[in-house]
């Protein structure tokens, strides 16, 4: 009998929706978006997030550690259906990785890159699927050769040809915490995996990368918030209910 349970539940849901439609006044508009306010409008605002990024494939004799990453920028979204929403985020993102010598964590090197990001995606209820495209703006190398040595930093020019465009599929969630007429506040949780290396120039990386084929792709995990103002006049128009007239 268990294999009949799901079809029965689906039939009950369909039947209930038909009964509601038959009981509704045909002249009374029916709002598929329920009690939603600004989340059923075109909305534009700001978002910030912070988290960790790191590479997973260090060269021989090195280990990796995560470093802090962040992003901030302009967020926009628009509901296509009561379940599906399209989104577009534009902003600045910083990510990288830390390497340290296998038996001496006091000997370390950090590589970081700044990107201008274009992030289109879709929200299926709370689930988010997107592609984070990052255009490199510059980067820096930081290192320390021993506990007694001072930390050193070398900036990479903004037009450095060695930095690679980031292509990062993302999977996460956007959970509305507040939905008012003026706007909505959402919690964002994102995990991504950069398919590209940080740089094509091995001089940007620890010296061991010059003789070894290793990936410097940087997975990331970010937690943040987005606040978006609802734009009046763009909300979805309620549809006319179809009742069961005589």
Predicted confidence (pLDDT) per residue in 115-156, tens digit: 999 999 999 989 999 999 999 998 888 877 766 666 677 776
d(CA 108, CA 98): 7
CATH number of 38-233: 2.40.160
Which one, of 94, 114, 82, 77, lies nearest residue 188 by Cα?
A: 77
Q: Which of 181, 141, 183 is nearest to 162 (CA)?
A: 141
CA angle 75, 80, 81 (to 5 degrees): 130
| Contact by Cβ (8 Å): 242, 23 | no
How do the domains of the chain map onto residue ranges?
Answer: 38-233
Please give the Cα distance from 217 to 192 (Å, whole number): 11
pLDDT confidence band for 103 (50 / 70 / 90): confident
Q: What gap in Å lies between CA 238 and CA 246, rounded to an integer?
A: 24
DSSP 217: -
Q: What local confidence, expressed as pLDDT, does residue 8 receive?
A: 52
pLDDT of residue 108: 85
DSSP secondary structure of 74-101: EEEEEESSSSEEEEEEEEEEEEEEEEEE
């Amino acid at each position: 009998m268990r294999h009949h349970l799901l079809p029965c539940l689906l039939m009950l849901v369909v039947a209930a929706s038909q009964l509601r439609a038959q009981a509704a006044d045909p002249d009374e508009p029916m709002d598929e978006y329920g009690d939603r306010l600004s989340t059923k409008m075109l909305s534009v605002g700001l978002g910030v997030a912070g988290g960790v990024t790191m590479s997973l494939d260090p060269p021989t004799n090195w280990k990796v550690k995560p470093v802090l990453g962040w992003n901030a920028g302009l967020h926009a979204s628009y509901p296509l259906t009561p379940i599906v929403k399209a989104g577009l985020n534009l902003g600045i993102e910083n990510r990288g990785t830390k390497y340290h010598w296998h038996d001496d964590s006091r000997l370390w090197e950090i590589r970081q890159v700044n990107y201008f990001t274009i992030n289109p995606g879709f929200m299926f209820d709370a689930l988010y699927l997107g592609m984070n495209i990052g255009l490199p703006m510059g980067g820096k190398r930081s290192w320390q050769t021993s506990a007694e040595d001072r930390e050193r930093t070398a900036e990479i020019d903004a037009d450095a040809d060695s930095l690679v465009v980031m292509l990062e599929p993302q999977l996460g969630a956007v959970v509305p915490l507040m939905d008012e007429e003026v706007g909505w506040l959402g919690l964002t949780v994102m995990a991504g995996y950069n398919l590209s290396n940080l740089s094509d120039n091995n001089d940007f990386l620890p010296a061991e990368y010059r003789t070894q084929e290793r990936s410097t792709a940087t997975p990331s995990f970010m937690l943040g918030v987005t606040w978006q103002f609802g734009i009046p006049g763009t909300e979805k128009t309620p549809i006319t209910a179809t009742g069961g007239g005589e």
